[in-house]
Amino acid sequence: MGRVDGKVALITGAASGLGCADAEILAREGATVVLTDVNVDAGEAAAESIRGEGGNATFIALDVADEEQWQQVIAHIRSEHGRLDVLVNNAGLVIMGNPEECSLEAFRKQNAVMSEGVFLGCKHALPLMHESGGGSIINMSSIASHLGYPIYFAYSAAKGAVRAMSKAIAIHCQMNGYKIRVNSLHPGAIDTPMLDQTTSELGLDNKEDLSPVVGLGQPEDVANVVLFLASDESRFVNGTEILIDNALSIQ
């Protein structure tokens, strides 16, 4: 216990799924967590649940594609907590469509959240994290950045951008003497509401059919890696990508 005692962590897309699991484990291990999401009711409920378990959690509404809202959230954290040690860029969405069928609107919407949102989060968090003495940025990508999923073309493109940006930001921080580590996570089939959506859209009877050989991971399988990267245990892990897919990507 107490692996992230004293740290302040900001998690996007924290109202449900992976983001909520990340917030829960970081709070349980001693961090002050700031949950953000566009789903206000679910986000507030998630923060209240964490507080009910003895954790220190608050919720702030945030559309990650809105730069002004990012500036307001970072300013709030600076005012309320005086520091930021961990940023988990987790917010995401998925809209089906292959390269010929995907509309420009759908492409832009997904990239606004998962590519531009990660960019804005890192851009505006870096100064406060540097002032805080350093920290860890954890960007949620996907094995879709490694594999070819034409039906989820725009999603894959956005997650590929996350993978590349994470490496560039890690080197930027290193070159400028910032003690800020930046890594990307690449989950496979994880049992979340987004997986339920995918199962329905593909017309499958059971979500287990999405990964019959490898099986489905649970949100805590990803959250445990987030905890490791948020903690000082991972102080020499930087600029890398970690696949959490039970070898799905090398089948």
What's the pLDDT at 111? 98
**Res 251 pLDDT > 90:** no
Structure tokens at 170: 């890690």
Binning pLDDT at 50, 70 and 90, where does residue 197 land? Answer: confident
Q: State which H helix or E strand residue 9 sits in.
A: strand 8-11
Helix, strand, coil tally for the chain in percent (to 5): 50, 15, 35
**Res 74 pLDDT > 80:** yes
Annotated catalytic residues are 155
What's the pLDDT at 79? 98
Cα–Cα distance between 64 and 117 in angstroms, integer?
Answer: 5
Tell me: the pLDDT tens digits for 168-190?
999 999 999 999 999 999 999 99
What is the largest distance, in Å, between two alpha-carbon atoms of the chain?
A: 52
Strands lying side by side in the sheet with 241-244: 56-61, 32-37, 8-11, 86-89, 135-140, 180-187, 241-244
Ordered by where they begin, the domains of the chain are 8-250 (3.40.50.720)
